[in-house]
Amino acid sequence: MEKCEMKFCQSCAMPLGAPDMFGTNADGSRNEDYCAYCYKGGAFTSETTMDEMIEMCVPFVSKGDPWPDEETARKAMQEMFPQLKRWRK
């Protein structure tokens, strides 16, 4: 594992940069694995399947940032998401 590796939310794959982008644990401390949109106060903000999460993310990550279109974005996420902590079997 690389120490300076960029962190990604282990639920929606959003890059975690600023401290306020991290989710929170039940005791209010910072959760290092998930973003503030996915994880709050020690629980996921919504019960969703991996496919639903991908569909939710598509409009935000297509159109050139970082993927050129929805088709490419969906395909990339379908390969990436099963490796995230939340969706790993």
Residue 54 beta carbon to Zn ion: minimum distance, rounded to whole angstroms = 12
Going 43 to 27 to 18 to 3, the CA torsion angle's sign is: negative
Going by the DSSP 8-state scheme, the letter that residue 29 receives in this structure is P
Considering only 16, 31, 35, 77, the residue that binds Zn ion (CB under 5 A) is: 35
The verdict on 31 binding Zn ion (CB under 5 A) reads: no
Residue 39 beta carbon to Zn ion: minimum distance, rounded to whole angstroms = 7
**Rounded Cα gap, residues 36 and 6, in angstroms:** 17
Considering only 12, 54, 77, 84, the residue that binds Zn ion (CB under 5 A) is: 12
Nearer of residues 14 and 62 to Zn ion, judged by Cβ: 14
Count of C-beta atoms within a 10 Å radius of residue 11: 24
Give the residue ranges of DSSP H helices in the chain: 50-61, 70-80
Residue span binding Zn ion (CB under 5 A) among the ranges 11-19, 47-55, 59-67, 78-86: 11-19
Nearer of residues 10 and 62 to Zn ion, judged by Cβ: 10
Grouping H, G, I as helix, E, B as strand and the rest as coil, residue 62 is coil
